[in-house]
Structure 1
Amino acid sequence: MKQHIITAGVLGLLSSFVFAGSVASDTTSAVPAASGDGFARARRPISNPTLFDLALPATNVHPLFLYHSLPKNINTTLGKLPLGGDVELYALQFEIALNDRLSVVATKDGYVDVNPDSTASGETGFANLGGGLKYAFILDPVSQTALSGTVTLELPTGNSDVFQGEGDGLINLSLSGLKLIDDWQFSVGTGVQIPFSDEQSSELWTSAHASYEISRYFIPLVELNWFHVLDSGNGAGNYPTHVGGSVPAVIEFEGGDLFNLGAANSDASRDFVSTAVGFRSRLTESVDAGVAYEIPLTDDEDSLMKSRWTVDLVWSF
């Protein structure tokens, strides 16, 4: 029931973006823009960075750093098992606008450092590569409303030592909406991850963002993320350097935005919800920085997240 309520709310909000854009397109009277153009003050969400994006096609470079604390214990088919430790991710995303409505996006890459307390040593390696196209169906600077769709492919190019590189890849299909009202910004995204083999799980995700510009240097924000397993994978034997490849066979949840583990028993804990609070700062007309602190709202032992810090920089040109 909870997931149906959340999905209905997201679809309702996306419908309001469509309605607002349609009305504005039929209106001849001008509405004052937020800045030099109607979207000049729009800001990118911070959490769920590989999936949740701004609805506007643009040209930018987006370096980011994640410090992700792992839960002390996790739930498995063998009972509670110790984990602890942390994950660090250093990544560089980019986007190139081909025109006002279409852009090429590079959504996932980076260097991953996994340091669980329950093993003698950590592992390092590269994340999978992901990228694709974003197209804005609605792009109305007068009403400051945008709605876009994104299609990306994630290729299994990463290292299995850091829970990447398994399966045959997957496709991400998503919708993103944006609405600016004076100093407020509201963004929402929803999508589905469809793997090309049963070694990974199929998942639905939804994210929402609200922020208020107190000044150009302090724009507080709050975000909400929800992941729901549609169909559990069967990745038994994958990630052989971790407990002999038994991780996907015993854990009872999926890995959220960064990891698709192909957990065979993830139907035991299909839902993961987190919230993030932070702020953005517009350093120049083309550069802004952000920081957010994220915690799970569901049981952290049914996830790989105890907490997460995300720090990023967006350079638009």
Structure 2
Amino acid sequence: MKRVPAHRRRMAGLALLLAAAAPLPAAAEDGFLGLDWNGSLGEGRHSRYVPPLTNPVFNETPYITTEARGIYMYNEIPDGDDFVTDGGNIHLGALQLRVALTERLGFIATKDGYADANFNEVLDDESGFANIAFGLKYAILSDPESESILTAGLRYELPIAGLETGGIELQGHGNGFINPFVTGATTFGDLGLQASLGANVALDTEVDTSILHYSLHADYEVFENFFPLIEVNGFTPIDHGNRLTGALGKLDGIDLLNFGSDDRGTTVTLGGGFRYRFTDNVQIGVGAETPITDKEDTIMEYRVYGDVVLSF
């Protein structure tokens, strides 16, 4: 099969981000198609919406929203003795979609996109589509007066057999994942706090590794519509796969890739950045993230993020 030039692969990721910036149709005041597309953010409801920035695959906002979130991520791969390829990078462009069905119930499609992986040694460069994850979430507690909300959700991740190099499947060819999670937020004046906890459970345990994921987020409105933020994310294996063993058995794809390694360890990351809200419907985020645990055998030396959130 003829290989797509690298510049065209990068442009495909950028096109996804630009698509997210296209204007969204206005929802009717009385609910388009009978749905309450305002979700948690309608009149008399929650007013302070600052979604997480890092760990976009698993760190789900607890708010029920109708929005498109275009994401660009640059992932630097560790060099030297820390990773088998002696460095490289991954570019990812993705588009997340969320639709509020009622004030408390929402549909989410939060993992997709196009990845362009470039390795310095050992492995050939590879590009292709990431797995697709979608599901529902429900706000089991919602108190706009205190800006507190607690939401539970369930996602299914559909495997896409499109990323493989050097005989290593960068994504599994198994039956996908089930991802139950809970996420919540509250505020103290200008300080906003969020946390999430979930498990990404492999349906084929021989092919993929199941993990526990957990995140903490804090933001502070230093002046109107400008929110510096800090986030901590963790990924702990709870059932190892058996797809990569021996010398490669420690390879850790963290959140983006799943190698099915039989000896993957825990990775904890620290991220920071800011969000700026141009209007009630448009905000951007810029930030970076790096592991604070041992980087050996993980795909992340550091990451840089940029996103655009367009909501009703």
Under a length normalisation based on structure 1, what TM-score does the superposition of the two structures give? Answer: 0.80
Query: What is aligned with 2:284?
Result: 289
Query: What is aligned with 1:259?
Result: 257
- Call closer, same or farther: CA 1:145–1:301 in 2, change over 3 Å: same
Q: By how many angstroms is 1:42 displaced?
A: 1.7
Question: Please, which of 228, 234, 237 is the counterpart of residue 226 of structure 1?
Answer: 234
Query: What is aligned with 1:96?
Result: 99
Query: What is aligned with 1:243?
Result: none
How far does the alpha carbon of each residue in 1:7-49 deviate from its partner, in whole angstroms, 9 at most, with x for none? xxxxxxxxxxxxxxxxxxxxxxxxxxx9964522221000110
Give the whole-Å Cα distance in 1 for the aligned partners of 2:113 and 2:248: 27
Query: What is aligned with 1:306?
Result: 301
SS at match of 1:142: helix
- Call closer, same or farther: CA 1:173–1:57 in 2, change over 3 Å: same
Question: Please, which of 175, 178, 185 is the counterpart of residue 168 of structure 1?
Answer: 175
Query: What is aligned with 1:53?
Result: 60
Alignment of 1:1-317 (within 5 A): 37=44, 39-73=46-80, 81-119=84-122, 121-161=124-164, 163-198=170-205, 199-236=207-244, 250-266=248-264, 270-317=265-312
Instruction: Count residues in correspondence.
Output: 267
SS at match of 1:91: strand
Give the whole-Å Cα distance in 2 for the aligned partners of 1:63 and 1:92: 5
Give the whole-Å Cα distance in 2 for the aligned partners of 1:120 and 1:299: 22
Query: What is aligned with 1:20?
Result: none
The answer for unaligned runs of 5 or more in structure 1 is 1-33, 237-245
Q: By how many angstroms is 1:215 displaced?
A: 2.1
Under a length normalisation based on structure 2, what TM-score does the superposition of the two structures give? Answer: 0.81
Give the whole-Å Cα distance in 1 for the aligned partners of 2:260 and 2:111: 18
- Call closer, same or farther: CA 1:94–1:209 in 2, change over 3 Å: same
Of residues 212-221 and 202-211 in structure 1, the stretch that sits farther from structure 2 once superposed is 212-221
Give the whole-Å Cα distance in 2 for the aligned partners of 1:310 and 1:180: 25
**Could you tell me which amino acid in structure 2 is paired with residue 195 of structure 1?**
A
SS at match of 1:176: strand
Partners of 1:234 and 1:249 within 8 A in 2:
no
Give the whole-Å Cα distance in 2 for the aligned partners of 1:132 and 1:258: 18
Q: Give RMSD over aligned pairs.
A: 2.0
SS at match of 1:54: coil
Residue identity (%) = 35
Partners of 2:199 and 2:213 within 8 A in 1:
yes
Q: By how many angstroms is 1:50 displaced?
A: 0.9
- Call closer, same or farther: CA 1:158–1:287 in 2, change over 3 Å: farther
- Call closer, same or farther: CA 1:38–1:86 in 2, change over 3 Å: same
**Could you tell me which amino acid in structure 2 is paired with residue 210 of structure 1?**
A
- Call closer, same or farther: CA 1:120–1:164 in 2, change over 3 Å: closer
